[in-house]
Structure 1
Amino acid sequence: MEILKQFSNLLEDWIPKEASIAVAMANQYVYYVAGKYDLKIKEGQKIQADSIADQVMQKRCRTEALMDDTLFQVPYYGVGYPIEINGEDAAIVVILPPQHAISAAPVFKFLTGKQEEEWRPVPIEKVSYVESLQKKTWFYANKEPHKTNITLKDLQLRLPDNFLRIHRSYIVNIAFIDRIIRDFSSNLIVLLHDGTELPVSQSYVMDVRNVLGF
Structure 2
Amino acid sequence: MESNVVRQFSQFIEDWIPKEASIAIAAGDQYISYIPGNHDIRIHQGQSIPSGSITERVYLHKKKVESLVDKSVFGVPYYGVGYPIEDPELGFQGALTVILPPEYSQEKLKPFSFIVGRRDEVWIPIPVEDIIYIESHQKKTIFYTKDGHYSSKFPLKTLEYRLPDYFIRIHRSFIVNISSINQISRDMASNLEVQLKHLDQRLTISQSHVLKVRNALGF
TM-score by length of 1: 0.59
Q: Unaligned stretches of 5+ in structure 1?
A: 21-35, 38-61, 68-72, 82-101
2:54 corresponds in structure 1 to: 15
In structure 1, the residue corresponding to 2:136 is in which secondary structure?
strand
Is it true that 1:79 corresponds to 2:98 in the alignment?
yes
In structure 1, the residue corresponding to 2:190 is in which secondary structure?
coil
RMSD, matched Cα: 3.8
Please say if residues 54 and 81 of structure 2, whose CA atoms lie closer than 8 Å, have aligned partners that are also in contact. Answer: no
Is it true that 1:198 corresponds to 2:203 in the alignment?
yes
Query: 170, 193, 212: which is aligned to 1:207?
Result: 212
- TM-superposed deviation, 1:195: 2.1
Cα–Cα, structure 1 residues 66 and 168, in superposed 2: closer, same or farther, change >3 Å?
A: farther
Query: 114, 124, 141: which is aligned to 1:110?
Result: 114
Cα–Cα, structure 1 residues 103 and 157, in superposed 2: closer, same or farther, change >3 Å?
A: farther
Alpha-carbon distance in 2 for matches of 1:142, 1:126: 8
Q: Which digits, 9 at most, give the CA deviation of each residue in 1:137-194, with x for residues without a partner? A: 1111115111111110111111111101100000000111100110111000100012
Alpha-carbon distance in 1 for matches of 2:173, 2:107: 21
Please say if residues 103 and 158 of structure 1, whose CA atoms lie closer than 8 Å, have aligned partners that are also in contact. Answer: no
In structure 2, the residue corresponding to 1:17 is in which secondary structure?
helix
- TM-superposed deviation, 1:10: 6.8
Which AA in structure 2 matches 1:168?
A: R
Alpha-carbon distance in 1 for matches of 2:108, 2:212: 23
Give the 5 Å matches for 1:116-135. Answer: 116-135=120-139
Which AA in structure 2 matches 1:119?
A: W
Which AA in structure 2 matches 1:17?
A: E
In structure 1, the residue corresponding to 2:164 is in which secondary structure?
coil
Alpha-carbon distance in 2 for matches of 1:204, 1:17: 23
TM-score by length of 2: 0.57
Query: 146, 150, 156: which is aligned to 1:152?
Result: 156
1:52 corresponds in structure 2 to: none
Give the 5 Å matches for 1:84-95. Answer: none
Moved over 4 A (4+): 10-13, 64-67
Q: Which digits, 9 at most, give the CA deviation of each residue in 1:96-115, with x for residues without a partner? A: xxxxxx97111111110111
Q: Unaligned stretches of 5+ in structure 2?
A: 1-31, 33-42, 64-77, 89-94, 101-105
